[in-house]
Amino acid sequence: MKAWRVRRPGPVATGPMQFVDAPIPEPASDEVLIAVRTCGVCRTDLHVAEGDLPVHRPHVTPGHEVIGEIVSCGADVTGFPTGTSVGVAWLRHTCGRCRFCAAGRENLCPESRYTGWDADGGYAEFLTAPAAYVYALPDGYSDEELAPLLCAGIIGYRSLRRADLSPGGRLGIYGFGGSAHITAQVALAEGAEVHVMTRGEAARTLALELGAASAQGPADRPPVALDAAILFAPAGDLVPAAMQALDRGGTLAVAGIHLSDIPALNYQRHLFQERQLRSVTSNTRADAIEFLAFANRHRLDISGPGYPLAHADRALADLAAGSITGAATLRVSL
């Protein structure tokens, strides 16, 4: 099969990725083998390629927003007929025994493992995944629309819950890429008033087209005080601006797996009056199932460019340059 591998992590301009011929993987007893049709291009893939995240698997194949179909199953797997369409997301293993798993917080499991970081992912024609971590897909979407739901959608959904937005509240969104443009639609469907702070005229235009009440620059003050906010941009220097934009008792959730350093916060301006700053770590399978059910009930408008698999390096370069509006995908098979 054809697959991309991170040859040597580094800036995307240095060519850290290599397109190679590789053997088709064999599923373990608890895994399924999936023929990849489409894979989303996520900023986490860029962090893996550029080395912002430490290497977990040398020469890993990135990609964790996978849409494909079952080719074969391991000896212990039942209930997945050949040809079944499924999705594969970021979380691929938890221990099931620790206190976090027992409390329904498997995203915090110390033994958690991830697609495209700990194991080869979807920038390839085939991949394997544990059967317990693949998902049924909502109806009425193309593969290119489905793929971003598997991470951009799921992590945005969890971030919205972590932001603790009250019904009908005012939500600020900082950065408006693949995850943010989905999360904004979820919030709007639930009755929120959404304000977007982001660089790039095209992203601001998309935000307004989707129903945002306002769209301005990344560090600009929104026109109203915010009840909650989500920081999607991996820019720690936006944290003070986002915290200062919160109303009393507001919460800022930081959605990314990687963030540049946060400048010093002033207690009176940024934290006093019970403002909260929270991180978001991966997701649980329950989050994924709940969000995909939401996407089945509420039609989400997923937009973004498509690239052939052979041009995955260009897709990551465009993502790094900030020239992608919406959520990009790779066309792996027709």
Contact 219, 196 (CB under 8 A): no
Report, as an integer, the average pLDDT of 296-312: 96
Q: Give pLDDT tens digits for 263-284.
A: 999 999 999 999 999 999 999 9
Q: Decide if pLDDT at 191 tops 70.
A: yes
Contact 204, 229 (CB under 8 A): no
Report, as an integer, the average pLDDT of 297-303: 95
Determine the pLDDT at residue 333: 81
Determine the pLDDT at residue 247: 98
Question: What type of residue sits at position 109?
Answer: C
Contact 185, 299 (CB under 8 A): no
Report, as an integer, the average pLDDT of 136-165: 97
Report, as an integer, the average pLDDT of 284-293: 98
Report, as an integer, the average pLDDT of 83-96: 98
Residue 84: pLDDT band (50, 70, 90) is very high
Report, as an integer, the average pLDDT of 312-327: 95
Determine the pLDDT at residue 178: 92
Contact 207, 215 (CB under 8 A): yes
Report, as an integer, the average pLDDT of 48-70: 97
Report, as an integer, the average pLDDT of 132-147: 97
Q: Decide if pLDDT at 71 tops 70.
A: yes
Distance CA 89, CA 80 (A): 17
Share of the chain above pLDDT 90, in %: 99
Determine the pLDDT at residue 334: 58
Average pLDDT of the residues of the chain: 97
Residue 242: pLDDT band (50, 70, 90) is very high
Report, as an integer, the average pLDDT of 148-160: 97
